[in-house]
Structure 1
Amino acid sequence: MTPELQEAGAAQLAAAQARLQEASSGGRDAAFGRVLHGAQPDFAHGVALYLDEITVSFDGFKALNALSLAINVGELRCIIGPNGAGKTTMMDVITGKTRPDHGTASFGSNIDLLRLRENDIAQIGIGRKFQKPTVYEQLSVFENLELALKADRRVRASIFSRLTGTQLDRIAEILQLIHLLPEAQRTAGLLSHGQKQWLEIGMLLMQDPKLLLLDEPVAGMTDEETERTAELFLSLEGQHSLVVVEHDMKFVGELTQGWKKVTVLHEGSVLAEGTLADVQSNEKVVEVYLGR
């Protein structure tokens, strides 16, 4: 080996060691948050999602103002607050759509969400459902779920792919869970609004997410559909972490069952936390959100 190659090799080794040291320090620019092949979040400490001092400004307006929030593994957390409180921006930050001006966002103890792209974040197990359902209306319910399977979707793989018995069982399991087994062959565009919401939730579940972000999931649903949705979410609790942004206090009450934590956002930060009864009796919450 020539002296030049030895020097080049030494320089590369020093650079690699420096990157490793930087990653282990856990700083904002650390490489530990980059998703490598097969990377999985570490939930050993019991926290699924941790936001710390997240600030987002748009033309001088602080949509999020030093927001700090922790969601435990398997927890179902309801988040409420008036319009403009920062709920959507918070989910945008978690899913990589918006980059904050300041703060940190961690998935488990080892993944820095702020260093990842949107598609990377989806791949590591964070699924988001928007208020308006987005399904493939020209396809059947079954075909929608089939498309959502974790699989190789390159053209050649799609042409020659065949569902395995395990995959068929998984689709049947999700159809049963979202109350759409009798509608499996029905065109998705013919479903009711509530059924389309369930189908989109089912499509997320096909990806086996570890964290689900659900934005006003029962908006526009009938009372019966709302009740069934509450049953669905409660059945997912423990297997997945769920963050439910909602205005329907009756639905929030059904999900929290009198003892689970509710977070109230106002002007981009946490105004109050506690049981639904606690926050409903909080004077600040009453003043800015629930009304006297």
Structure 2
Amino acid sequence: MTPDLMEAGARRVAEHDTLMQTASSGDREASFGRVLNGAEPDFAHGVALYLDGITVSFDGFRALNKLSLAVNVGELRCIIGPNGAGKTTMMDVITGKTRPDLGTASFGSNIDLLRLRENEIAQIGIGRKFQKPTVFEELSVFENLELALKADRRARAGLFARLSGAQLDRIAETLQLIHLLPQAQRTAGLLSHGQKQWLEIGMLLMQDPKLLLLDEPVAGMTDEETERTAELFLSLEGKHSLVVVEHDMKFVDELTEGRKTVTVLHEGSVLAEGLLSEVQADEKVVEVYLGR
């Protein structure tokens, strides 16, 4: 790594967690300060995420209306619904960007997400992938993953410390998983849109997330990139819990494999839930979403 790149990384590594947890358009103040004292979610009951009666209003408009949802440990859950259904607001609540007016949100059986700040929620193992990729474009693919390692977050210590053999192996495994091993030394800004999406997913994986929230991950991808992304997500199932918000029904079909639960949101509530074939045949879903 050259001195210029190390300086660039040093300036930005302190922002890294917030960058991947915030939308590209916001100017919100970073949520730093409190550090969790070794809190670990308890998944003994098999539930990774539980939302109950979540209500969020903006200037009288209810973005979420008594939303209740449960995602099991290791589950890959697809969330579909028309624009304005509340999908993004739901993710904002889970990650601490938005505080609900009513309801509860739990990670495992013991962690109240509504009492935590955004950076603390990231620390306990919830990672969010936005539609627009946010990577360090002036650094290489390898350097992006190096910065994302869940280790000493002090900029200088993180950048100048020699990587251990185990860390190098982990980066190599992640590069292989996200289909970017041949691109390891390529500048991230030169990657295709789909490759940048994979890189950001890889950066999230470097932080050992237990739950991944993925917002329209294949938007703008080629057919080949979309197929590879489906393969990637299916390989993560069971090792991580995944919530995928998506409009591409072909992609949803590939992910659900005819056997996984799909949740349909409408006007801030769950409209229908079941196998993809079941929700596609639901007259209410056809009327408000699929029939449009």
- What corresponds to 1:67 in structure 2? 67
Whole-angstrom CA distance in 2 between matches of 1:277 and 1:156 = 52
Q: In 1, are the aligned partners of 2:36 and 2:120 still within 8 Å (CA)?
A: no
Counterparts of 1:97-176 in structure 2, within 5 Å, are 97-158=97-158, 160-176=160-176
**SS across alignment from 2:56:** strand
Whole-angstrom CA distance in 2 between matches of 1:256 and 1:199 = 23
Whole-angstrom CA distance in 2 between matches of 1:255 and 1:126 = 20
Unaligned 5+ residue runs, structure 2? Answer: 1-33
Whole-angstrom CA distance in 2 between matches of 1:155 and 1:175 = 23
Report how far residue 157 of structure 1 moved.
Answer: 1.6
- What corresponds to 2:255 in structure 1? 255
CA 1:73–1:64 in structure 2 vs 1: closer, same or farther (change >3 Å)? same
Structure index of larger Rg: 1
Report how far residue 153 of structure 1 moved.
Answer: 2.2
Report how far residue 35 of structure 1 moved.
Answer: 7.0
**SS across alignment from 1:92:** helix
- What corresponds to 2:208 in structure 1? 208
Using the size of structure 2 for normalisation, the TM-score is 0.87
CA 1:172–1:99 in structure 2 vs 1: closer, same or farther (change >3 Å)? same
Runs of 4+ that moved beyond 6 A: none
Amino acid at match of 2:209: P
Unaligned 5+ residue runs, structure 1? Answer: 1-33
Using the size of structure 1 for normalisation, the TM-score is 0.87
Pairwise CA RMSD: 1.1
Whole-angstrom CA distance in 1 between matches of 2:175 and 2:102 = 41
Whole-angstrom CA distance in 2 between matches of 1:235 and 1:255 = 10
CA 1:133–1:155 in structure 2 vs 1: closer, same or farther (change >3 Å)? closer
Report how far residue 167 of structure 1 moved.
Answer: 0.5
Does 2:186 align with 1:186? yes
Counterparts of 1:46-57 in structure 2, within 5 Å, are 46-57=46-57
Deviations 1:172-215 (A, max 9, x none): 00000000000000000110000000000000000010000000
Q: In 1, are the aligned partners of 2:147 and 2:159 still within 8 Å (CA)?
A: no
Whole-angstrom CA distance in 2 between matches of 1:176 and 1:36 = 32
Whole-angstrom CA distance in 2 between matches of 1:168 and 1:238 = 24
State, as a whole percentage, how many aligned pairs show the same letter: 89
Q: In 2, are the aligned partners of 1:35 and 1:116 still within 8 Å (CA)?
A: no
- What corresponds to 2:18 in structure 1? none
**SS across alignment from 1:40:** coil
Deviations 1:58-90 (A, max 9, x none): 000000000000000000000000000000000
